[in-house]
Amino acid sequence: MTAENQDTLPEGSQLAAIDLGSNSFHLIIVKIEHGEMRPVEALAEKVQLAAGLEDDLLDEAAIQRGLDCLSRFAQLLESVGPERIRVVGTHALRLAKNRRAFTVPAKRILGTRVDVIYGREEARLVYLGVAHSLADDAQSRLVIDIGGGSTECIVGQRFEPQFLESLQMGCVSYANTFFPDGRISRGKYRRTYEEARAQIYPIRHRFGANRWEECVGSSGTLQAIETLLAQNGWADGGISRSGLATLEKRLLKFKSVEDIQLEGLAAQRRNVILPGVAITSALFDVLGITHMRTSRGALREGVIYDLMGRLSHEDVRERTVNALMQRYAVDSDTADILERRARTFYLATRAGWQLTPYDWDLLRWLTRTHEIGMAIAHKHFNRHSAYVLRNADLPGFSQEEQELLAVLALGQRGKLKADFFAEIADAELTRILYMLAIIRLASCFKHVEVLEQLPDFSVTADERSLTLGFPEGWLDDHPLTERELKAEKQVLGKAGLKLKIS
Q: Tell me how far apart the alpha carbons of residues 241 and 77 are, in angstroms, rounded to a whole number.
A: 41
Residue 26 and residue 48 in one domain: yes
Domain span holding position 158: 134-295
Q: Tell me how far apart the alpha carbons of residues 128 and 125 are, in angstroms, rounded to a whole number.
A: 5
Residue 1: pLDDT over 50: no
Q: Tell me if 144 sits within 8 A of 177, measured CB to CB.
A: no
Residue 93 and residue 183 in one domain: no
Total domains in the chain come to 3
Residue 28 and residue 139 in one domain: no
Residue 140 and residue 192 in one domain: yes
Residue 156 and residue 277 in one domain: yes
- What residues are paired with 256 via a beta bridge? 183
Residue 286 and residue 412 in one domain: no
Residue 259 and residue 396 in one domain: no
Strand arrangement, sheet containing 140-146: 160-167, 151-157, 140-146, 214-218, 291-294, 239-240
Q: Tell me how far apart the alpha carbons of residues 350 and 486 are, in angstroms, rounded to a whole number.
A: 23
Q: What is the pTM of this model?
A: 0.88
Boundary of a domain, candidates 263, 295, 327: 295
Q: Tell me how far apart the alpha carbons of residues 294 and 220 are, in angstroms, rounded to a whole number.
A: 10
Closest CA to 346 of 230, 479, 107, 338: 338
Residue 147 and residue 88 in one domain: no
Position 453 confidence tier, pLDDT thresholds 50, 70, 90? low
pLDDT in tens, 123-160: 999 999 999 888 777 789 999 999 999 999 999 998 89
* Single-letter amino acid, residue 208: G
Position 11 confidence tier, pLDDT thresholds 50, 70, 90? confident
Boundary of a domain, candidates 279, 310, 341: 310
pLDDT in tens, 309-345: 888 878 899 999 999 999 999 999 889 989 999 999 9
Residue 343 and residue 432 in one domain: yes
Q: Is residue 357 domain-resident?
A: yes
Boundary of a domain, candidates 286, 310, 334: 310
| CATH number for position 357 | 1.10.3210.10
Q: Higher confidence at residue 5 or residue 296?
A: 296
Q: Is residue 466 domain-resident?
A: no
pLDDT in tens, 27-55: 999 999 877 889 999 999 999 898 899 99
Residue 181 and residue 256 in one domain: yes
The stretch 113-122 carries a mean pLDDT of 95
Residue 254 DSSP class: S
Residue 97 and residue 141 in one domain: no
Q: Is residue 328 domain-resident?
A: yes
Q: Tell me how far apart the alpha carbons of residues 442 and 191 are, in angstroms, rounded to a whole number.
A: 57
pLDDT at 4: 46
Residue 150 and residue 271 in one domain: yes
H/E stretch holding 87:
strand 85-89
Q: Tell me how far apart the alpha carbons of residues 280 and 211 are, in angstroms, rounded to a whole number.
A: 19
pLDDT in tens, 355-368: 999 999 999 999 99
- The number of residues making up the chain comes to 502
The stretch 243-256 carries a mean pLDDT of 96
Q: Is residue 147 domain-resident?
A: yes
pLDDT at 451: 54
Q: Tell me how far apart the alpha carbons of residues 163 and 42 are, in angstroms, rounded to a whole number.
A: 30
Backbone angles phi, psi at 427, to 5 degrees: -65, -20
